[in-house]
Amino acid sequence: MLNSIINLSQDLIKIPSISPLDLGCQDILSARLKNIGFTIENIKINNTNNLWAYRGTGKTLTFVGHTDVVPAGNIKKWKTPPFKPTMINGYLFGRGAADMKGSISSMIIAIESFVKKYSSYDGRISVLFTSDEESRAYDGTKKVVQILRNRKEKIHYCLVGEPTSNKILGDCIKNGRRGSLSAIVKIYGIQGHIAYPEFAENPIHKSFLFIKNLLNLELDSGNFYFQPSELQIFYISAGNMNITNMIPNFIKIGFNIRYNPEIKKEVICSKIKYFLKKNNLKNKISWFFSGDPFITSSGKLLNIVMDSIIKYSKISPILSTSGGTSDGRFFSLMNSEILELGPVNKTIHKINECVKIQDLYILSKIYKNILKNLFL
């Protein structure tokens, strides 16, 4: 089992599948699943490859993951080449080792081992792997879930293999995520000579009260599962730094709100619009919505995942909804029980990304145990 996980992880890491490219990773996975009787559907949408595969009937567990990776960054700073998987002192180095080619390998090996031993289990095992999770997340899981919903497919349980552990494998599982909403607001002034401000209107000066309102914005105080909703400014741009004698005619401000189920996104939008109006700012605002919050506060999958972690990782996990959103959000539309469990996330997206090889082995045992407890 351990060697199979290492070999498969290495085969995947060797492929420089920088988001949204898959470059053949999913072919490797489809071939293995086909070999154990899975029905394979390759759903290509624009540049994104998606693999939807399933075996069995009845209550469905979907393993969710992505075959794309973020770019390597400065290759000279890597101790080992990012796309040449290398094992050092029990760790496997390479881009995607932890996020998330390692956990995909653990999933596949767990499924293979389970299906070979218990070929007529009671339920349906499926996988949904995409190649655009790290980029726009537009032509991947989101669209495939839409296709599945149109077909009236049911997914009862959804297990995302994103690296959720903090220090020890299984010390943290995500049982929900905050929603994410972004906006770019363009605030207009009147362009003019900087020495004659009486004939102009400075949009930078005008926007300061609005920015102050954003910084003081209190949306809610969170709840048992979620931290308070929070706004962060990610972009400000105005004027031309080479032209020192001109008042510009607009400023652009970008901000993002991570919010919990205590507040609706419509309420957030109306608060922001109110600030713009209160400060008398001529503006144009564009909203970008990437997902509502979701939570799995109880259920069969949660109990089984918790028990499996305790059994194999000898640790009691904490439940968390912190961090960025994930493809799990799309399954909330299918009313699935959604949980995320994967390797330690300390090095993800960094130079020298790595994963403890033993963790992939334990993770695979946990995934297999989840299958046993759901379907036997």
Catalytic residue check, 68:
yes
Q: How far is CA 44 from CA 26, 106, 136, 207, in A?
A: 11, 24, 15, 44
Residues 155-184 that bind Zn ion (CB under 5 A): 162
Task: Using the Cα atoms of residue 232, residue 234, residue 240 and residue 244 in order, give the sign of their dihedral.
Answer: positive
Q: How far is the CB of 313 from Zn ion (least distance, A)?
A: 20
Which of 207/320 has CB closer to Zn ion? 320
Site string for Zn ion, 131-150 (x = CB under 5 A): --------------------
- Residue 327 makes contact with Zn ion by CB under 5 A: no
Which of 69/253 has CB closer to Zn ion? 69
Q: Kindly give, in sequence order, each residue whose CB lies less than 8 Å from that of residue 76, ignoring residues fewer than 6 positions away.
A: none
**Which residue of 33, 98, 100, 363 would you call a contact of Zn ion, by CB under 5 A?**
100
Collapsing DSSP to helix, strand or coil, 364 comes out as helix
Collapsing DSSP to helix, strand or coil, 68 comes out as coil
Which of 139/162 has CB closer to Zn ion? 162
Catalytic residue among 22, 112, 132, 133: 133
Q: Give the range of 8-16, 22-30, 92-100, 234-242 binding Zn ion by CB under 5 A.
A: 92-100
**With DSSP H G I counted as helix, E B as strand and the rest as coil, what are the percentages for the chain, rounded to 5?**
35, 30, 40
- Residue 99 makes contact with Zn ion by CB under 5 A: yes
- Residue 98 makes contact with Zn ion by CB under 5 A: no
Catalytic residue among 22, 68, 139, 353: 68
Question: Closest CB to Zn ion belongs to which residue?
Answer: 99
Neighbours of 249 (CB within 10 A): 16
Alpha-carbon span 239 to 204, nearest angstrom: 9
Are 223 and 321 contacting, i.e. CB atoms less than 8 angstroms apart?
A: no
Catalytic residue check, 133:
yes
Q: How far is the CB of 201 from Zn ion (least distance, A)?
A: 45
| Active-site residue list | 68, 133
